[in-house]
Amino acid sequence: MKQWNGWGDDQNDLGLELKASALAYLQKIIGPSTRLPDASLEQVISKVPASRLQPHELVSLDAEDRLRHARGQSLPDWLAMRSGDFGIFPDGVAFPKTSEQVQSLLQYAEQHQLSVIPYGGGTSVVGHINPEAGDRPVLTIDMTGMNQLMELDRESQIATFGAGTTGPMVESLLAAEGYTLGHYPQSWELSTVGGWVASRSSGQQSMRYGRIEQMFAGGRIETLKGTLEIPTFPASSAGPDVREMFMGSEGRMGIITEVKVRITPLPEQESFHVIFFPDWDSGHKALREIAQAKVQLSMMRLSNTIETFTQLKLAGSGMAITLLEKYLALRGAGDNKTMFTLGVTGSRAQCKSALALARGIARRHGGVGTGALLGKKWEHSRFRSPYLRHGLWEAGFVVDTMETALDWVSVPAAPAVMEAAISAALEDEKETVHVFTHLSHIYPQGSSVYTTYIFRCGSDYAQTYARWEKLKAAGAEAIVKLGGTISHQHGVGRDHARYLPAEKGELGIAAIHGLVEVFDPAGQMNPGKLLP
Please tell me the total number of residues recorded for the chain in this structure.
532
> Other C-beta atoms within 10 Å of 325: how many?
15
Average pLDDT over the chain, rounded to whole? 96
- Contact status, residue 124 vs residue 101, Cβ threshold 8 Å: no
**Predicted local confidence at residue 317, as pLDDT:** 57
340 vs 289: CA distance, rounded Å: 14
For 162-167, what is the mean pLDDT? 98
pLDDT at 316: 58
The Cα 23–Cα 26 span in angstroms is 5
pLDDT recorded at residue 17: 80
Question: What does the DSSP 8-state code read for residue 35?
Answer: P
The predicted pLDDT at position 461 comes to 98
Terminal alpha carbon distance of the chain: 34
Phi, psi of 29 (to 5 degrees): -90, -25
Instruction: Give the pLDDT score at 15.
Output: 53
pLDDT tens column, 82-99: 999 999 999 999 999 999
Annotate 244-256 with DSSP letters as a single string. Answer: HHHTT-TTSS-EE
Please give the share of the chain, as a percent, with pLDDT higher than 90.
Answer: 92
The answer on pLDDT for 293 being more than 70 is yes
How confident is the model over 43-73, as pLDDT tens digits?
999 999 999 999 999 999 999 999 999 999 9
Q: Taking every pair of C-alpha atoms in the chain, what is the biggest distance, in angstroms?
A: 72
Q: Average the pLDDT over each of 16-25, 268-277, 310-319 and give the range with the smallest value.
A: 310-319
SS3 of 169-202: the string is: HHHHHHHCCCEECCCCCCCCCCCEHHHHHHCCCC
Q: Put residue 459 in one of left, alpha, beta given phi > 0 → left and psi -120 to 50 → alpha.
A: alpha
Distance CA 158, CA 178 (A): 13
pLDDT band at 30 (very low <50, low <70, confident <90, very high): very high
Task: Please tell me the predicted confidence (pLDDT) of residue 14.
Answer: 56
Q: Which segment of 44-53, 205-214, 311-320, 473-482 scores lowest on mean pLDDT?
A: 311-320
Q: What is the mean pLDDT of residues 238-267?
A: 97
Question: Over 294-307, what HEC string results?
Answer: CCCCCEEEEECHHH
Report the pLDDT value the prediction gives residue 194, as an integer from 0 to 100: 98
CB within 8 Å of 424: residues ≥ 6 apart: 474
pTM of the model: 0.96
Assign 290 a pLDDT band (cuts: 50, 70, 90).
Answer: very high
